[in-house]
């Protein structure tokens, strides 16, 4: 049975991709000796059963600092996986490619550009795959766009390749929008706070009241 890990920066839609691949039949267990949760489920296609493991988000792949990051990178380096799926989003492309570069030292890697409905690199998947040296898939996990292409790749097996770093810079608008969509509660609280501050300012201007 093949086994793949999903990893990436925080808030790039890893869990959405995990659910799109496996459904909601999720098995959760703490990593041995820790309180860090690791989610596992199965992808079933054409009589094959493939285990998918959703690892914690990573900010510093070269120098992981907190427990979640250390566990994720240890799993990538030492875990028995047939490959690693690294998830990127418009607001976290550079970090995702760095994770893919490090992961590629240990396992076959594929890079999934999530939120493809907001932005995709200015290349076809094949062109970018050739440039990076690893498979590339453009996906919108919440809309299930591109998911079947990724499934086919996982069923066939990831080829071993060495990632060649290249610079990709999404438009600022796409990066901001994807960041907001990834953290809707924080975005809502920010808007409420800004609205409150604007109200106080208008009150001060119109009525000559100093609200602080």
Q: Please indicate, yes or no, whether the overall pTM of this predicted structure exceeds 0.85.
A: no
pLDDT value for 180: 73
Q: How confident is the model at residue 187 (pLDDT cuts 50, 70, 90)?
A: very low
User: What residues contact residue 52 under an 8 Å CB cut-off, 6+ apart?
Assistant: 4, 6, 18, 21, 22, 40, 41, 42, 43
| Predicted confidence (pLDDT) per residue in 99-115, tens digit | 999 999 999 999 999 99
Q: Residue 166 pLDDT > 60, yes or no?
A: yes
Average pLDDT over every residue of 43-53: 92
Percent of the chain beyond pLDDT 70? 77
User: Can you give the pLDDT at residue 23?
Assistant: 86
Name the class of domain 3-169: alpha beta
The pLDDT, as a whole number, for residue 196 is: 53
Please check whether residue 48 is in contact with residue 2, taking contact to mean a CB–CB distance below 8 angstroms. yes
What confidence score (pLDDT) does residue 101 get? 97
Q: Is 153 helix (H, G, I), strand (E, B) or coil?
A: helix
């Amino acid at each position: 049975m093949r086994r793949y890990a999903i990893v990436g920066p925080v808030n790039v839609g890893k869990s959405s991709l995990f659910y799109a691949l496996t459904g909601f039949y999720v098995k959760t267990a703490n990593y041995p000796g820790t309180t860090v949760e690791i989610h596992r489920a199965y992808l079933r296609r054409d009589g094959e059963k493939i285990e998918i493991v959703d690892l914690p988000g990573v900010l510093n792949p070269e120098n992981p600092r907190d427990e979640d990051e250390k566990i994720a990178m240890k799993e990538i380096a030492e875990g028995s996986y047939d490959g690693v799926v690294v998830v990127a989003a418009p607001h976290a492309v550079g970090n995702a490619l760095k994770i893919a570069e490090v992961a590629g030292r240990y396992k076959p890697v594929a890079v999934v550009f999530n939120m493809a409905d907001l932005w995709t690199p200015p290349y076809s998947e094949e062109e970018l795959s050739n440039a990076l040296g690893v498979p590339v898939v453009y996906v919108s996990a919440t809309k299930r766009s591109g998911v079947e292409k990724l499934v086919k790749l996982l069923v066939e097996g990831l080829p071993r390749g060495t990632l060649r770093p290249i610079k990709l810079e999404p438009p600022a608008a796409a990066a901001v929008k994807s960041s907001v969509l990834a953290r809707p509660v924080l975005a809502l609280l920010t808007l409420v706070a800004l609205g409150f501050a604007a109200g106080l300012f208008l009150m001060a201007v119109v009525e000559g009241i100093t609200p602080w």
